[in-house]
Amino acid sequence: MHARINFLLHLLLALYSAFRFQGCASDAYHHTITAMKSPSSSTTVGSSASVFLQVTGNVYPQGHYYVTMYIGNPPKPYFLDIDTGSDLTWVQCEAPCQNCLPAPHPLYKPSKDLVKCNEQICVDFHRPNQPVCASPDQCDYDIRYADLGTSSGVLVREWFPLRYTNGTMTAPRVVFGCGYDQQVRKGATPPYLDGVLGLGLGKVARHLEPTSRTCDHYSLGTAEVFVGGKTSGMKDLPVLFDSGSTYTYFSEKPYKVILSLLMNDLKGTQLNKADEDKSLPICWKGSKPFKSIQDVRNLF
């Protein structure tokens, strides 16, 4: 089970002026964000209408990947976690902030241009439910991630200055979340970032582009599962790419098969189940503390 994640190091994002920030572009501007494997791929899809954002980060020790986005006028920088697994872009914000997490930049001061509760983009965002707003003058959001982290706030409109690859500047007005209440699972260490760049393809995009979009996710196609170099017999499993998730998740059946093969593989090694560690359903521990990831790899 060796994760092939090296390509992430070369991940670049391209913005095209024919798409939109996932679920969050104003109607007047339609911008696309596309994740690409390497700069060279840009020649196939790239045009003067592309914007490239350099991705920074690593699997370890940081554990996340981010881009620098400039927001507002005058523009200020924010480090945003790139997340192909969620739809909403949000930035920690001084609305005032009720609960903000430690971050590299000062909180974003929201524009006065709030999305209203009855606006189409608010209705689309909450679909299939009706928006529930504290006031008709604002569009509240509440997003919950698989790792139990949450962000609550309101949708605002703001300038996002960007430079096309041909050098021309553009500043679309983008709808995104001003997050004034961020929570993480107890004991979890949140990434040291200012917010999330949601690149998912759900909800609003699907609603607004019903014919052009048949898939809501970044699909990697199908996979065959190998454990210890041997096939598990499970193949043609559809796999999704979620850049914002720390763990790889399996559905119940493959999870059980992989676990049982892994348990078999680990028989006779120095690894023992660590029932006292409740962080995940199954944990193992070595006979002595590990000094590096390499020590762990040697056991699998």
Ligand X SMILES: *[C@@H]1O[C@H](CO)[C@@H](O)[C@H](O)[C@H]1NC(C)=O
What amino acid positions are annotated as catalytic residues? 83, 242
- Are the CB atoms for 53 and 67 separated by under 8 Å? yes
Q: How far is the CB of 233 from ligand X (least distance, A)?
A: 50
Q: How far is the CB of 169 from ligand X (least distance, A)?
A: 9
Q: How far is the CB of 55 from ligand X (least distance, A)?
A: 22
Q: CA–CA separation, 295 vs 300, rounded Å?
A: 10
Which of 8, 13, 15, 17 contacts ligand X by CB under 6 A? 17
Q: CA–CA separation, 39 vs 46, rounded Å?
A: 10
| Closest alpha carbon to 35 in 240, 293, 297 | 240
Distances (CA, A) of 268 to 123, 271, 300: 57, 8, 12
Which of 30, 41, 42, 164 contacts ligand X by CB under 6 A? 164
Which of 43, 166, 287, 294 contacts ligand X by CB under 6 A? 166
Who contacts 163 (Cβ-Cβ below 8 Å, separation ≥6)?
51, 169, 170
Q: Which is closer to ligand X, CB of 46 or CB of 254?
A: 46
Q: Which is closer to ligand X, CB of 17 or CB of 84?
A: 17
| Closest alpha carbon to 240 in 266, 215, 264, 268 | 215
For position 97 contacting ligand X by CB under 6 A, the verdict is: no
Q: How far is the CB of 197 from ligand X (least distance, A)?
A: 21
For position 30 contacting ligand X by CB under 6 A, the verdict is: no
- Are the CB atoms for 33 and 22 separated by under 8 Å? yes
For position 18 contacting ligand X by CB under 6 A, the verdict is: no
Selected range binding ligand X among 75-83, 142-150, 164-172, 229-237, rule: CB under 6 A: 164-172
Distances (CA, A) of 218 to 1, 46, 87, 215, 277: 21, 19, 12, 8, 33
Q: Which is closer to ligand X, CB of 25 or CB of 121?
A: 25
Q: Which is closer to ligand X, CB of 163 or CB of 213?
A: 163
The DSSP symbol for 200 reads: -
The footprint of ligand X on this chain (CB under 6 A) covers a number of residues equal to 6
DSSP 211-248: TT----S-EEEEE--EETTEE-S---EEEE--TT-SS-
| Closest alpha carbon to 23 in 298, 237, 194, 208 | 208
Q: Which is closer to ligand X, CB of 31 or CB of 157?
A: 31
Q: Which is closer to ligand X, CB of 15 or CB of 122?
A: 15
Q: How far is the CB of 47 from ligand X (least distance, A)?
A: 7
Q: How far is the CB of 121 from ligand X (least distance, A)?
A: 24
| Closest alpha carbon to 93 in 156, 171, 148 | 156
The 255-274 contact track toward ligand X, x by CB under 6 A, reads --------------------
Of residues 173 through 202, those in contact with ligand X by CB under 6 A are none
For position 214 contacting ligand X by CB under 6 A, the verdict is: no
Contact footprint for ligand X (CB under 6 A) = 17, 48-49, 164, 166, 168
